[in-house]
Amino acid sequence: MSAYTVTSSAELMQNYIQSGILEPQRKFIALQTSTGASLLFSIGTDDAFNVTKELQAAAHGWTHADLSSAQAKADFPKGATCKTFAAAQAVAGSASAAIHLAMVLDDDANDHLYLSLTNSDVDTGWTDKPAWTPCPFNAKDSAGKAIPMPKPFKIADTFVTEASDKEYIVVDIIRNPTDTDALVSRFYIDTSTPAAPVWMPHDISIDLEAASYKSCLGRASYSFGVDGLYTMGRIAGSPQLIYTPLFNPFDPATPALPARLMLPSKVQPDAMAACRNADNTSDLYVAAQGGLYYFASTNQKDNATGVLLVSHALLSGVRDLYAYTADGKVTVWGLNGSDEVFYLTCDRAQLTNAGAWNTPIAILIDVDAISPYIDRMFSANTFFAHSGDSLLKAIKTPDTGMWSRSSITLPPSELQQPARKISSYTTRLQVNDEDGRPAPNITVSLTATSVTSVYIDHLYYVVGPQPIEVVTDEIGSVTIVELVHTLAGTRFNVTVDAQQLLINPMDAPFQRSAKLNTVSALKSAVITNQDGSTRPFIPHGTSDDDLKAVAQSNDALNTAYQKLAASSSSSPQIKLAIKTLPTIALPHVSKGVLTDVGDLFSALESGIKGVVSIVEDAAEGVWHFVVSIADKVYYGILDAVEKVVAAVMWVYNAIKIIIRDIILFLEFLFLWPDILATHRVMKNVFVQTVHHVVDGLNDAKADVASLFREMQSELDKWADIPNFDQTAAHVGKSNPAPAGLHSAPANLGVHHFKGNYRNSDTSYQPPSPAEAIFEDLIKLVKNEEATMTATFNAVKTDIIDQFAHLSLTEIIKRLLEILGDTVLQTAENVVPTLLDILAQLAKGVLGVLTARIDIPVISTLYHDLTGDDLSFLDLMCLIAAIPATIVYKLGSGEAPFPHGDTFTDRLSNARSFAEVKGAFFVSGGPKAVVAQPATKRFAVAQPSRIALAAADDQPLDVKKLRTFGMVEGVFAGVGSVVLIVTANAKLSDDGTGWGAWPGTIATINAFANVAYVAPNISSMIMWESERWYARMNAVITGVSILKGFIAIPFAALDIKLVKLAIAGAENWLNQCWNVPVIANLVYNASDATTSYKALIPDSIGNFAFNLGGMLEPYIEIMPMDDPKTALIKAAEVRTQQVLMGTYGAMTIVAAGIFEWAPGQKD
């Protein structure tokens, strides 16, 4: 049995990505690495020869490298540009798949050839600094006499071989640059001496004009292991197609004889492609006037005639043709004169069987150029295409037949470049250990039904049937983002510790669509805009007949979906049965042509218009996607979940709903106005709380001495501790998180914070206080070092290391035994000293409340939503408001702070903490029920650091307090996540303990701490002044909040004593904070299983909070420059993260109990 629990949430939802996009290139050729990663060689608009590399597990997925400029700068001081290039890779399946490059540099006077051969396809580090060999023209004739170099020297084209047994390079030059016919002379390059290549003449039996011929390298079987050139063109109006070996293998000085290749009826060839075989021979495919012809490598002698394989209208006017063989199949791609991309594929053993070839359809239109290949990792049909103003990569998954398309994403040009809004299938995995705690750094194995690119925790991966491994992050989660342009998505199979989980991200949007199965449902459907306004989903004027057809199609698709989802896989038996039927008679369809349904979807996505219907073939028990395009009818089999979901798009699109609106309608509805209302309320409450704490520092200091006296007096009375046998592990497992908390939408902000906080920036400069202010605190901490160390060692050994499995009673007893009189007396000295420091510094740091921060993605999101720049406080409030609002709405059916509500407005507009507090009390309303210890108990205002009572003479609006308490609980949980994530900065090895951005991280942490202690705000709103632990809780809360702000300026300074003093103060504060937690348990023990069910998780969370804070000085003193202490520090940080996570989780659980559990008194 697995020690871990894996859960998932997946949604079609709005998301963001920060990246650059590769612009269209003047020329490009796609190759691949040994693992199938793409290498896109190109000439860009800057006239440089570049390579764009696809990188697995990289931040942006692609990196761009200039291959030519360094060489051009070194050899041509006045500059040179790349005119053209050639790139090829050794035939797949050979021992070596070396990459060969040739480039032509133009210095405005002459062209210059450079070669870079036998480059590795495994380690592509050579692209950072390619080794170029210059190839000056040095040709000699058969008599050994130098051939004069034309002036100017202009290269018309270059060709590089795919052969694995030898490098063959061919160069065509302009024979006479002044001649208007621009005839070419052909040479091959002898590289037997790599450092000194030799130009060798290659006689051509026909005159070729530079602009009117096409050639490609290949090898006929009779060429005795020598490559040759296939050349096509016209001479005197007659079509010509010849093959000529580069040289005579028996006498290289003697020209090789050409072979004339014939097409039936002397049809004019339009395009050709040589397809390399494993033995380095090549078959030749020729597109000519609507037909595809085939010359086997053994059928390429003089006067050989090509075999017609297939005829189709798409094969008319083909201008580019490509061919590739892999896994026993041949694939031929074409780009025709109508700018349509198509492909044909067939089992190699069935080449001459016309019925064995697929039915081609235009899968992409308006295309200028393509470069295809079969992916070496997944055997996936892959091509790059320049279409319009974009360059995209398309991949067809072998198993499902579905196409995915993506742009080439590059690192952003600027660190704070605005992010792009995208639609995505976002999947979030949560892995917990056997105690119900998040499990970080756990290996997750992932496979996918589609071959496509995704971002996993902000790193780019190409996923497919082959498993990849990733690890869970600091909070035990993994987030997968798949960018989508249609509804088709990818299913995942996740394995953790032998436990498998099947995930279908498409389910939620499909279920939303399936509900639109009546005309009335379709008519009432609306798209909700970002601002909360709505508009009809169905275009005005759509007829009822059309709507009936859509409703019926939705019903049919739902039937097919449920059948396929239940089997969790496609049905190969169905596919095999259907493949035997070339045509089919269907209702409303006289004759249909069986077509790959993925190709049909791709055609529709490209903009081809068609009439769509969903038809059942009852005899076969399958559903067909039927499309009428012009005068032809195509149908495909809906035999996989991905296909059924993809079909939904085109059912709606057929009634003229644009693709973007279909996705908007089916996306998860964030209802941003509700989230922003939560953000505004909490932001203002936090601002007023901070000001209130600052203003009350003097009163707090005056109250401290009496508070400690009362505390000591109460401690002496606690002889009998109530029996609580609950443990953190038990409570964690038996109290699941509220619905939606771990969902992908709820974690949108947190996800992007985790991925981007390291790149955050700010212009905020905190005031620089004098170190002397901390002298008293430094002395006090140093004097009490022995006591603090002894306390830590005892707490670490007796409590922290066993925390998950200690009962509450055992925790209390051990804490009281360890703390004792000595420790608390020291704390009594520390707190007033710290208050003195805060009184001197607090007002100086209040400017941080409005300080701006730039953080990728989140700054863009916030600006899109509000039009404002993001502040540190906005950052914390936004990423917490998202889950707080979603969780609350799922639990209560309404927003926590509705628009136009008086309570919402009062909290949003309050200008003092007194006004915040006043919003929770109503004049003339019923008085809150307040119980006290012995004869009455503390009121549970909400699951807070301490539960406190309302004032006796003020009526409390309990519903408002419950609502606020639930939101506070989620804010505390998100605050714990932020602190957990940024805790890793303490493990930097640069000596500061914070990395390159310590001040920014410290500021983020200060606001995260405000959210972290947010549940105490309710306590401060309704605390009873006569209760010593209520007042102590308020004092410590205020000190904790302000301590985070005064630490900001010291984060970037190497003042170890001040940092240690602040960390020591954190330790003492949390030691003291344990006492009010114990008091709350002691006085409310009798209600723990009835009217105060939140008491146990609340208390466990509070103890975890305090114990985590007590670790701070021991983390601070551990240096990172010693491997041994670095390991110790890492272990302590991890322990602190676990405790912070426990607090966050328990606080949310307690908040949910208080809000939604029946019978909870207030």
Using alpha carbons, list the distances in angstroms from residue 739 to 368, 436, 509, 1112.
Answer: 50, 16, 19, 33
Residue 1082 has pLDDT above 90, yes or no: no
> How far apart are alpha carbons 157 and 228 in whole angstroms?
16
What is the DSSP secondary-structure string of 384-447?
A: EEEETTEEEEEEE-TTT--EEEEE-EE--SSTTPPPEEEEEEEEEEEEE-TTS-B-TT-EEEEE
What average pLDDT does this structure show over 498-520? Answer: 96
> How far apart are alpha carbons 258 and 236 in whole angstroms?
19
pLDDT > 70 fraction of the chain, expressed in percent and rounded: 92
Q: What pLDDT does residue 933 have?
A: 31
Half-sphere exposure (Cβ direction) of 406: Cα atoms closer than 13 Å = 30
Q: Is the pTM of this model over 0.85?
A: yes
pLDDT > 90 fraction of the chain, expressed in percent and rounded: 65
Residue 328, SS3 per DSSP: coil
Q: What pLDDT does residue 570 have?
A: 39
Q: What pLDDT does residue 90 have?
A: 87
pLDDT in tens, 927-943: 444 333 332 223 333 33
Residue 1015 has pLDDT above 90, yes or no: yes
Q: What pLDDT does residue 826 have?
A: 74
Q: Outline where 572-696 has alpha helix (H).
A: 572-579, 597-605, 641-653, 659-666, 672-695
What average pLDDT does this structure show over 939-965? Answer: 61
Query: Which residues touch 961 (CB under 8 Å, ≥6 apart)?
Result: 920, 941, 942, 1018, 1021, 1022, 1162
Residue 73, judged by CB atoms within 10 A of its CB (0-12, 13-18, 19+), counts as: exposed
What average pLDDT does this structure show over 273-287? Answer: 96
C-alpha of 635 from chain center: 35
More confident position, 1148 or 266 = 1148
Q: With cut-offs at 50, 70 and 90, classify the pLDDT of residue 340.
A: very high
Q: Outline where 16-160 has alpha helix (H).
A: 69-75
Asked if 259 contacts 251 with a C-beta cutoff of 8 angstroms, the reply is no
Q: With cut-offs at 50, 70 and 90, classify the pLDDT of residue 425.
A: very high
Q: Is 1130 left (phi over 0), alpha (psi -120 to 50) or beta?
A: alpha
Q: With cut-offs at 50, 70 and 90, classify the pLDDT of residue 206.
A: low
Q: With cut-offs at 50, 70 and 90, classify the pLDDT of residue 827.
A: confident
Angle between helices 672-695 and 872-892 (to 10 degrees): 120
More confident position, 770 or 668 = 668
Q: What pLDDT does residue 929 have?
A: 41
What average pLDDT does this structure show over 410-425? Answer: 92
Q: What are the φ and ψ backbone dihedral angles of 897, each rounded to 5 degrees? A: -130, 85
pLDDT in tens, 51-88: 999 999 999 899 999 999 999 999 999 999 999 999 99
Q: With cut-offs at 50, 70 and 90, classify the pLDDT of residue 439.
A: very high
Strand partners, 245: 228
Strand partners, 40: 30, 52
Domain edges within the chain: 5-12+423-505, 24-202, 511-666, 672-1156
Q: What pLDDT does residue 951 have?
A: 42
pLDDT in tens, 537-596: 999 999 999 999 999 999 999 999 999 988 764 333 333 333 333 334 454 445 788 999
What average pLDDT does this structure show over 3-9? Answer: 94
639-640-644 Cα angle (round to 5): 90
Q: What pLDDT does residue 209 have?
A: 67
What average pLDDT does this structure show over 731-737? Answer: 89
Contacts of 43-47 spanning 24+ positions with Cβ under 8 A: 43/82, 43/84, 43/85, 47/81, 47/82
> How far apart are alpha carbons 506 and 858 in whole angstroms?
26
What average pLDDT does this structure show over 1131-1138? Answer: 94
Residue 14 has pLDDT above 90, yes or no: yes
Residue 381 has pLDDT above 60, yes or no: yes
> How far apart are alpha carbons 1124 and 986 in whole angstroms?
16
What average pLDDT does this structure show over 1003-1018? Answer: 93
Residue 1162 has pLDDT above 70, yes or no: no
Q: Length of the chain in residues, anyone? A: 1162
Residue 195, judged by CB atoms within 10 A of its CB (0-12, 13-18, 19+), counts as: exposed
pLDDT in tens, 341-359: 999 999 999 999 999 999 9
Q: What pLDDT does residue 301 have?
A: 96
Asked if 154 contacts 174 with a C-beta cutoff of 8 angstroms, the reply is yes
Q: What pLDDT does residue 280 have?
A: 93
CATH of domain 5-12+423-505: 2.60.40.10
Q: What pLDDT does residue 94 have?
A: 52
pLDDT in tens, 771-819: 677 787 788 777 777 877 888 888 999 999 999 999 999 999 898 888 7
Residue 321, SS3 per DSSP: strand
> How far apart are alpha carbons 1139 and 1131 in whole angstroms?
13
Residue 367 has pLDDT above 80, yes or no: yes
Question: Among 92-106, 302-316, 980-994, whose mean pLDDT is lowest?
Answer: 980-994
Q: With cut-offs at 50, 70 and 90, classify the pLDDT of residue 822.
A: low
pLDDT in tens, 622-678: 899 999 988 889 999 999 999 999 999 999 999 999 999 999 999 999 999 999 999
Tokens of 75: 């050899």
Residue from 1127, 982, 1139 nearest 1074 by CA: 1139
Q: What pLDDT does residue 833 have?
A: 83
Residue 895, judged by CB atoms within 10 A of its CB (0-12, 13-18, 19+), counts as: buried
pLDDT in tens, 447-472: 999 999 999 999 999 999 999 999 99
Tokens of 726: 């609950």
3-state secondary structure 770-797: CHHHHHHHHHHHHHCHHHHHHHHHHHHH
Residue from 186, 168, 171 nearest 227 by CA: 168
Q: What pLDDT does residue 630 have?
A: 84
What sign results for the dihedral spanned by CA atoms 1076, 1143, 801, 1041?
A: negative
Asked if 1077 contacts 1102 with a C-beta cutoff of 8 angstroms, the reply is yes
Residue 751, SS3 per DSSP: helix
What average pLDDT does this structure show over 1007-1021? Answer: 91
> How far apart are alpha carbons 675 and 877 in whole angstroms?
10
Query: Which residues touch 711 (CB under 8 Å, ≥6 apart)?
Result: 824, 1028, 1029, 1032, 1072, 1075
Residue 1085 has pLDDT above 50, yes or no: yes
Mean pLDDT of all residues belonging to the chain: 88
